[in-house]
Structure formats: C-alpha cells, structure tokens
Amino acid sequence: MADIHTAELNPGKLEIITEWVAEQDWAAGLDLDAAPLEKVSAYRFDDPAGKVGLEVHIVRSGDRTLQVPLSYREAPLEGAEEHLITTMEHSILGTRWVYAGMGDPLFRQRLDHAIATAETSAKQYRVDAEGNKLEEITEVAHAFGTGPLPGAGDVDLLHELTLDSPLEATEAGLLLGRWEGQPHSVVLAVMV
C-alpha cells in the first residue's frame, strides 16, 4: 500500500524524468523538443518499512512509450551516488533524494519479489498532511507478476514498451501491466 500526499514538488516528477531520459542511451532518437514527454500512467511497489517511494512512470513521446523507474528516499543512499538523479522538495515530506530505480537495491528487490510471488503493484491511497487515508487512487496502472522463472538470475525492466502485442499471464518470469486506455496486458519486465 502506498500513501500519496497532495503536495507540491520542486522540481516536478515529469521535469525530473524528462531531464534524465534525455541523457540515456536507450532513449536515443527521441526528440523531446518536438514531442515532449507526456504522462500516461504510473504504478508503485510497496516498501515493507514504509520509508521509500518506489514508483514506475509510464510516459509517451510521439509514438514511443517508455518506463522510468524512480525511488524517493528521505536521505542519501550510501554507495548509490552514480544512480542519484536529483533531489526534490516535497511540501509535506521535505527533501527527497531521487534515484534511478534500477540502481536502488530496494527497488530491484521489490520488482523481483513482485514477479517471483505473482504479486500485484501497490494499492495507492490519497492521504492528508497528517497521514489519514482519504480515498483509493484507481486511475493508476495495474502491474502483476506471473511467478518465478527457474534458473533466472536477474530482472530486466523494459525501458521501451511494445503496446500492440497481447499477452496474458501464460509465461513465468514476467511483470505485466495494464492501464486506462491500454486494452491488453503489456510486458513491463522479464526475469533473465
């Protein structure tokens, strides 16, 4: 379960994502001036300790749909300096250190756990400044694992998504997802 505050963020998430994506080799060929990134949806994983935000943004530039995993921490993550994207100011939680998700061990562990245990992405709830739950947020992506793949050693989160290949939970070792306007499940990550 993820608690989502109605807060002001500086810089905003889409701004952070745009700057980071522009520097990535896998995003070569994107013309973000001609086709700026647009938010499509997002999903989250649970942090059992409730301290770290683990969020994957699904964004679009022209006809390309991308996934951008981020983790939000209340303090710097020791040994992960190369994965630090920026810091942001959260009007309720204060300074947050924003990391590329795949460089954050907790993010990788929760992604692997979701696939291996056929778990779903976290339910998200709007909360007030005191942390009281107001309502469930339902206009988010729904991601779900398909179970372990024997012999797999790692998980690869796909940066670019293929939206036109219907696939249901017929194979092990996958994270699949669906969101409003996406009529069938899409492969989000694979065990390799």
> Residue 134: pLDDT band by 50, 70, 90 thresholds?
confident
> Residue 123: pLDDT band by 50, 70, 90 thresholds?
confident
Position 36 in a domain? yes
Total domain count, the chain: 1
The range of the structural domain enclosing residue 130 comes to 2-142
Position 126 in a domain? yes
Q: Is pLDDT of 174 > 90?
A: yes
pLDDT (tens digit, 9 = 90+) per residue, 149-167? 888 888 999 999 998 866 6
Percentage of the chain exceeding pLDDT 90: 73
Residue pair 98/16 in contact by the 8 Å Cβ criterion: yes
HEC profile for 102-137? HHCHHHHHHHHHHHHCCCECCCEEEECCCCCEEEEE
Position 7 in a domain? yes
Cβ-based neighbours of 23, under 8 Å, separated by 6 or more = none
Position 83 in a domain? yes
